[in-house]
Amino acid sequence: MAIKVYKRNTAGRRNMSIVKSSMITDKKPEKTLLAKLTKKAGRSGGKISVRHQGGGHKQRYRIVDFKQDKFGIPGRIAAIERDPVRSAFIALIYYVDGEKRYILATEGMKVDQVIVSGEEAPIKTGNRTKLKNIPVGTIISNLELFPGKGGQVVRSAGSGATLTAVDEKTAQIKMPSGEIRLVSNECYATIGQTSNFEHSSIKIGKAGRRRHMGWRPSVRGSAMNPVDHPHGGGEGRQGIGLKHPKTPWGKPALGKKTRKKNRYSNKYIIKRRSKRK
């Protein structure tokens, strides 16, 4: 995997980069695993319902199997593809019984590699098994929080959690954020780090590329008038002039804690994530 930086032929190309991965295969997506993807942003009744979103290239949703519940049935990786709606790569699996499914690709996956899911699955990158069967210190991804629900966390590009301890009923997981959390050891997880770890190094380069992704322009609150935003007004560049940043509707922003104090899952969190500096 390598990052390709474009030549500085134009202002838009300056420092623009993409990920050129040797994992990706030159294949069109599997038609039977595509679904319609409707736009969920833009205007409702003529008024903007979701700010900074809208437009973008037409996309089809890839139906990804986060449960991987074909236990004990080996599957061959037929292709590794980009997914327009997620940062990680996806792998097309051909199972021996004839079924085809997309799964999240882990780092190091190759075409024609055989993977398997189940309690008896060998501890090998790409395989999926219960936490109680995985050695302590292993990097895992696509982790279940409740047995049988399917992978819910550690699914974005390059992310990986660490299994730090396993008890009789629970397992301790160190999340990518640094949080240490208790999860039932009956939960399934995929062995290995999620693919496309260089995703965060990509430079968009120009506004048009951002528009193709469905992102509309964002205007700073300090550049607006007082009638339009709490940060607006003043001659030249002004500070926000308030105790803390606010949204256009006067609600607290940037650092305001939104998690409920008595949330049911508090008892499963051993150590909170560290604050970003």
* Per-residue pLDDT tens listing for the chain (277 residues): 688 888 888 888 888 998 888 888 988 999 999 999 988 887 888 888 889 998 899 999 999 999 999 999 999 999 999 999 999 999 999 999 999 999 999 999 999 999 999 998 999 999 999 999 999 999 999 999 999 999 999 999 999 999 999 999 999 999 999 999 999 999 999 999 999 999 998 999 989 999 999 999 999 999 999 999 999 998 888 888 889 999 999 999 988 888 899 999 999 999 998 877 6
Residue 191: CATH number of its domain: 2.40.50.140
Is 130 within the bounds of a domain? yes
Is 118 within the bounds of a domain? yes
Is 241 within the bounds of a domain? no
Instruction: Count how many domains the chain has.
Output: 1
Is 186 within the bounds of a domain? yes
Please choose, from the candidates 43, 46, 86, 57, the residue with its C-alpha nearest in 3D space to the C-alpha of residue 214. 57
Is 9 within the bounds of a domain? no
Is 175 within the bounds of a domain? yes
Is 273 within the bounds of a domain? no
Structural domain that includes position 183: 23-199
Burial 125-144 (b: 16+ CB within 10 A, else e): bbbbbbbbbbeeebbbbbbb
Is residue 195 a contact partner of residue 104, using CB atoms and an 8 Å limit? yes
Is 238 within the bounds of a domain? no
